[in-house]
Structures are given as C-alpha cells and as structure tokens.
Structure 1
Amino acid sequence: MKQFFVFIRKEFYHIFRDKRTMMILLGMPVIEIILFGFAISTEVKNVRVAVLDPSSDFLTRRIIDRVDASEYFTISLRVHNQQQMDEAFRKGDIDLALVFSEQFAGNLYNGDAKVQLVADATDPNMAVSRTNYATGIIAAVQQELLPEGATGSTIVPDVRLLYNPQMKSAYNFVPGVMGLILMLICAMMTSISIVREKETGTMEVLLVSPMKPIYIILAKAVPYFVLSFVNLATILLLSVFVLHVPIAGNFFVLILVSLLFIFVSLSLGLLISTVTQNQIAAMLVSGMVLLMPTTLMSGMIFPIDAMSAPLQVISSILPARWYIEIVRKVMIQGVSVVFVLKEIAILALMAFVLIMISLKKFKIRLE
C-alpha cells in the first residue's frame, strides 16, 4: 500500500510540473463558465434605436421616453428623413428605427395614427425579439392613456425587416460560418508548420539557408493561402447556389476582404507556431485560444451588444468579429466599401502586427 501512495504522489508531481496540463485542468473550467455565463445571451440588450418623429407631440415624446427608459433600448439617433435612417442602418449605427406618422396624437382615436418599426434582420431572431419588445412598450403607453373602461383604436406597429424580409436563418449564420471555417483552417494548419520542422529536424536546413527569416515565415503561409482561397470559393458557391444567400454587394470587395482575413488567420497561426515547441501544444493553443472565443464572442451566434463590457473588449481583438461584420454588410446588406473601411483597416493592422511579432519570436538558432 505504501508503494501505491508513492506512485500517486509521483503522478501529482508530474501533473504539477506540466504547466499546460495544469492550465487545461484548472484554467479551462474557469474560462468556459465565464464565456458561457456572460457571452451566451439571447436577451434584448443595448439596442440602438433611431427615431423619425415628424409630429413631435406629447404622445410620441412619451413613447420615445418610455422606450429610452427601458433596459432594452437606447435612443442613439434622431433622424429627419428616410435617407438619414437608411444611412444609419448601412453604417451599422442603429439596430432599430421608430417611425411615427404626422399628427400622431391627433389621429390616435380615429385610427389614423401609424407607427412603423424598422429592424435590421440580418439576425432574424434578434430582429423579431426587438420588434416584439418595442411593440409591447407602445401598447403599454397607449393603455395608460385610455380612460378606465374605455376602448379605443389599438396601435399595431407596422414591422419592416431590412435586408432579410424572408427571415432566412442562413442570412445570419453564413457570414459567421465563413469566419469560423477560414479562421480555424488557416490558423490551426499553419500553427504546426514551423513546429513540424523542429520536430523532424529539418529546421537546421532552413536556418543555414541564405533566406531571411521573414521569407521563411511567408513561404510557410503561401501554400495554405492558396488552399484557403479554394476553400473560400467552395464556401461562396455553396452559400449562393445551395443555401440561396445572395451576394448583394460588390463581389470583388468581398473576395479581397476575405483574402485579407485569410492572411490575418495565417499570420496568427504562424505566431502560435513560433512560440510553441511541439505540434500537440500548437494544436491545443490554436484550438483553445481560437475555437471557443471565435464561436461565442465574434458575433457569429450571439449579439455582441448583449455581452458584458469586458467581453466586448475581448471580442474586439478577435479578427473573426471584424470579418463577420464586413461579410454581413457587403454580402447581406449590400453596402459599398466606404461603410467597411474601419473594419478593413483593423484587419490590415492585425496582419501587420501579427507578422512583426512572429518575426520577432522566430528563433534563428535552435535551443
């Protein structure tokens, strides 16, 4: 029995000395409960609302104040015409618009008071939830104004769904799946490229060659870049001809942005490859660091606005978040490249930073 306890103690020592094992055993449960507890949320939160109110009477102001006072909505913009509202939707500044008819209060009891709810339906489930919540608030305000026991004409908002009037779920998940697939394939495959050279003993050949380290790193990325382009073409063909998701915007802008995202993903994989010592560690790091955060916090499934502030900050450093936003705007909403310049600039900056860090971490001498 004494020998048995000695072997148990030895196993504890092995586990405590292995930092990666300790991270998986003790760190992963903490990370998962935080992500699943705070990132996974289908609640309506922080919905940015624009208001088009030509009458500006006491009733419309009361409805607007009630909407703004709710925990679900924030009045972020007041527009004066339809063009300003459409521009705000294209820029991604608002999620919902509240449009009142003229002389709203005066026409309340004769049935001519009209209100329209315009929602961004690129995420159809969230669009339905947002309009339902807003409809409930409008109905509550109307009920408060009616005298006790009195009945009047009920205001039923006219719901208009932008970009996805058929409410197809594919319009929502195709951009997210594109980002997830390209990120995982590119990053996980390149993450083992340099490590494989170390394990097989061929790194010495590369290091004594006249090639500079930057060319060695880029040469590792080029084959995966070409293969990822084939994957991109396959994904787009399946999306258009099988899932019937149209490309509403500029096709060439979508291709160029996708190639930029592929390069960012390859650069991230190369960085992982330069800082890990074996292929198993590289696969674990790329899987843990990329798979779960990309799935939960990139906006692929759950709205970023519904997350807590710290998780929104973490979300902003995920390349997939910005790529998914670009694909939704260009492919689904059909906006021009002007409306996605910020996201493109962020991806370009990420590519530059990741390549520079990979070059810095690349060891020209074997240990």
Structure 2
Amino acid sequence: MKQFINFVRKEFAHVMRDRKTLLILFGMPVAQILIFGFALTNELKNSKLIVFDQAKDPASQEIIARIEASRYFEVERNLSNAAQLESVFKEGKIKMALVFPAGFNASLLHGHHAQIQVIADASDPNAANMLTNYVSAIIQDYQRSLSKSSLSPYRIIPEVRMLYNPQLKGAHNFVPGVMALVLMLVCVMMTAISIVKEKETGTMEILLVSPFKPILVIISKTIPYLILSLLNVGSILLLSVFVLDLPVNGSVLLLFAESMLFISTCLTLGIFISVKTSSQQVAMLISLMGMLLPTILFSGFMFPIENMPYLLQLFSNIVPAKWFYIIVKSIMIKGLGFSAIWKETLILVAITAVLLIISLKSFKIRLA
C-alpha cells in the first residue's frame, strides 16, 4: 500500500510540474464553459430594426417606445421614404423593418382596427420567425392595454412579409453555412497534413534542394486541393439547385470567384499550421479542433453573433468563415452583386495575405 501511495504522489508531482497538462485540466473547461455559455444560445437580442413611421402619431410612437424598451431590438433609424427599405436590407445589417401607415392612430381609435407591416430578412428563417413573434407579442401587449379602457376591443393586425425566403425554407440558411464549414475543414486539414507528411518522411528536404523555389514547392502542394475544392463547390451548388430547390439568385461566376478566394484563405491557413507543426497528428488535431469550433460558433451559421459579448464579437472578425458565409448568402439568397460584398472580399484578401506572409517568413529552408 505504501508503494501504491508513493506512485500516486509521483504522478501528482509529475502532473503539477507539467504546465501544459494543468492548462488542459483546468484552463480548457473554464474557457469552454465561458465561451459556450455566452455563444450557445438561439435567443435573439439587440437585433437591428428600422421604422418607417408615416403616421407619427401617439399610437405609433407608443409602440416604437415599447419596442425600444425591450431587450430584443435596437431601433437603428427612422426612414423618410419607402424606397430606402430595399437598400437597408441589402446592407445586411438590418433584420427587420416596421411600417406604420398614415392615419394609424385615427384608424385605431375610430375604427378599432389598424394594420402594421412587418418586414423580416428571412435568409435566416429561424431568426425571422423569432423576431416576428417578438414584435407580434409587443403589439398584442399594447393592444390589450388599449382594450382594457374600452368596451369594444381594438385590433392591430401585423401584416408579415418575409424577404428573400417567403416559404421559410431551412436550406437558405444551412447551405451557405455548410459550404463554409466543408471548405474550411477540407482545405485546411488536407493542406496541413500533406506538407507535414513531407517533413516526416524526409522528402521535403529533397524538394527544397531541387531547382524550385520554396514558395513554388508550397504552392504546388496546394493547387490540387484548390481544384478539388472548386469541384466540391460545384457539387454543393448542383445539389442545392436540383435537390433542395434553392436557386442561385446572383451571379454564379461571382460566387465561384469568391469561393476561390475563400479556398485560398483556407489553404494559406493550412500552410501556416504545417509550418508551425512537425507531426501529422498535431496538424490534424489543430485543423479539426482549431477550425471546427470557431467556424460553428463564430461564423453566424448556427448562433447569432450579435448575442455574444463584445470581445467574442471582435474575435469573430478574424474567423474567415464568417465573411464567406455573409458573401454566399448575399449572392445566393439575396441576389446581390460585388458592390454589396466588396468589404467582406477585402477582409478575406487581407487575411490571406497576412497568413501567407507569416508562413513564408516562418518557413525553414533547412529542416535539420
């Protein structure tokens, strides 16, 4: 028994001396609880809403005040004309619009009946459903407060209009997300493993002493994965159109060009991982765990980014899948052109350039 206790003490001492083990034991659970606790929620808060108030009467102002007082919405701005509605939705920063017709208060008081138009961005059908339910609940609450002081009940009917996805099909949301997830995982993992494999087998040294420059050696390793990934994009689009009945509303050529840019970003990320690692197992672990969780959590595909704490929102900006997800939705679902996605495109170009420069500077010509 004494020997057993001594062995246990030895193992405790070994664990306590190893900082990496302590980090895994205590740091990882704390980090996961904090990140998952803030990120894993489907509840929508602080969603951007615009108001086109043609009435500007006490009833419309009271409803707007109630919406502003809720934690679900932020009234971004008031519109001056209906022509601005389409443009603000194309910007992608607005989730919903509320339109009050002229004479709203008069219709409600004299006819005990009025309508409000509720317009939602249904490219994310789950979010659109939840937001329309939130607005309807606020309107019904105001309606009940009016009916208490009247013998005949008041009726305010929300006229709901879903933009981009009237039938609220789930494919409009998950196809762009799956594209980002598949390309990120495949490109990063396969590139990282293929280059590290050359290191492990010793063939990288042979390649480096060949007449080719190191950058050409690296690029030659990525070209096959670029072509195969573009074929993946084509197969996903074909399945989306002919099986899931999800048409590509924008330019197919632009979509392929943006996909090529995102694939290049993922390939440079794979190169970066391969430069910093020395074994296939480590490269695979980093590629899978290091790319899978950020893509799922911080791309906006499954969980709303605006619900997260400000620091996590900032962190999401360095996740390439977030920007590609916005680009694919803008082209496929909304049918927008390059003028609507040029900022996201520039961000992907910048991420690719930074990763490539760091990888080339860190790449060792001599592997000994």
TM-score by length of 1: 0.94
Structure 2 residue aligned with 1:101 = 101
Q: How does 1:129-140 map to 2 (within 5 A)?
A: 129-140=130-141
Instruction: Give the aligned CA root-mean-square deviation in angstroms.
Output: 1.9
CA separation in 1, counterparts of 2:297 and 2:22? Answer: 24
Matched residue of 2:108: which SS? coil
Question: Contact 2:113–2:156 (CA<8 Å) still a contact in 1?
Answer: no
Structure 2 residue aligned with 1:84 = 84
Deviation at residue 169 of structure 1 after TM alignment = 0.8
Question: Contact 1:195–1:273 (CA<8 Å) still a contact in 2?
Answer: yes
CA separation in 2, counterparts of 1:127 and 1:166? Answer: 11
| CA deviation map 1:300-348 (0-9, x unaligned) | 1111111221111111110000000111111011112111111111111
Deviation at residue 162 of structure 1 after TM alignment = 0.6
Question: In the superposition, relative to structure 1, how do residues 197 and 4 fare at CA in structure 2: closer, same or farther (>3 Å)?
Answer: farther
Q: How does 1:23-102 map to 2 (within 5 A)?
A: 23-102=23-102
Question: In the superposition, relative to structure 1, how do residues 13 and 254 fare at CA in structure 2: closer, same or farther (>3 Å)?
Answer: farther
> Which range moves more in the overlay, 201-210 or 258-267?
201-210
Question: Contact 1:52–1:100 (CA<8 Å) still a contact in 2?
Answer: yes
Structure 2 residue aligned with 1:270 = 271
Deviation at residue 232 of structure 1 after TM alignment = 1.1
CA separation in 1, counterparts of 2:20 and 2:124? Answer: 38
| CA deviation map 1:138-161 (0-9, x unaligned) | 222233334535333310101111
CA separation in 1, counterparts of 2:288 and 2:336? Answer: 33
What amino acid does structure 2 have at the position aligned with 1:252? L
CA separation in 1, counterparts of 2:80 and 2:56? Answer: 11
CA separation in 2, counterparts of 1:354 and 1:213? Answer: 16
Using the aligned pairs only, state the percent identity: 50
| CA deviation map 1:32-74 (0-9, x unaligned) | 2223211111112011011111111111111111111211111
Question: In the superposition, relative to structure 1, how do residues 214 and 16 fare at CA in structure 2: closer, same or farther (>3 Å)?
Answer: farther
Matched residue of 1:34: which SS? helix
CA separation in 2, counterparts of 1:285 and 1:21? Answer: 17
Unpaired runs of 5+ residues, structure 1, are none
Matched residue of 2:97: which SS? strand
CA separation in 1, counterparts of 2:20 and 2:58? Answer: 63
Q: Does 1:171 align with 2:169?
A: no
Question: Contact 2:114–2:157 (CA<8 Å) still a contact in 1?
Answer: no
Structure 2 residue aligned with 1:356 = 357
Deviation at residue 212 of structure 1 after TM alignment = 2.1
CA separation in 2, counterparts of 1:161 and 1:263? Answer: 35
Unpaired runs of 5+ residues, structure 2, are none
Matched residue of 2:136: which SS? helix
Structure 2 residue aligned with 1:293 = 294
CA separation in 2, counterparts of 1:335 and 1:240? Answer: 18
What amino acid does structure 2 have at the position aligned with 1:289? G
Structure 2 residue aligned with 1:232 = 233
Structure 1 residue aligned with 2:316 = 315
Question: Contact 1:35–1:296 (CA<8 Å) still a contact in 2?
Answer: no
Matched residue of 2:107: which SS? coil
Question: Contact 2:45–2:72 (CA<8 Å) still a contact in 1?
Answer: yes
Deviation at residue 102 of structure 1 after TM alignment = 0.8
Question: In the superposition, relative to structure 1, how do residues 245 and 218 fare at CA in structure 2: closer, same or farther (>3 Å)?
Answer: same
Question: In the superposition, relative to structure 1, how do residues 247 and 14 fare at CA in structure 2: closer, same or farther (>3 Å)?
Answer: farther
Matched residue of 2:42: which SS? coil
Question: Contact 2:146–2:154 (CA<8 Å) still a contact in 1?
Answer: no
| CA deviation map 1:241-280 (0-9, x unaligned) | 1111111111111110011001100110110000011111
CA separation in 1, counterparts of 2:219 and 2:133? Answer: 51
Question: In the superposition, relative to structure 1, how do residues 277 and 12 fare at CA in structure 2: closer, same or farther (>3 Å)?
Answer: farther
What amino acid does structure 1 have at the position aligned with 2:141? A
Matched residue of 1:246: which SS? coil
Question: In the superposition, relative to structure 1, how do residues 44 and 271 fare at CA in structure 2: closer, same or farther (>3 Å)?
Answer: same
Deviation at residue 190 of structure 1 after TM alignment = 0.8
What amino acid does structure 2 have at the position aligned with 1:213? P
Deviation at residue 5 of structure 1 after TM alignment = 4.9
CA separation in 1, counterparts of 2:291 and 2:316? Answer: 11
Matched residue of 2:315: which SS? helix
Deviation at residue 113 of structure 1 after TM alignment = 2.4
Question: Contact 1:217–1:359 (CA<8 Å) still a contact in 2?
Answer: no
Deviation at residue 112 of structure 1 after TM alignment = 5.2
CA separation in 1, counterparts of 2:73 and 2:217? Answer: 51
TM-score by length of 2: 0.94
CA separation in 2, counterparts of 1:270 and 1:305? Answer: 31
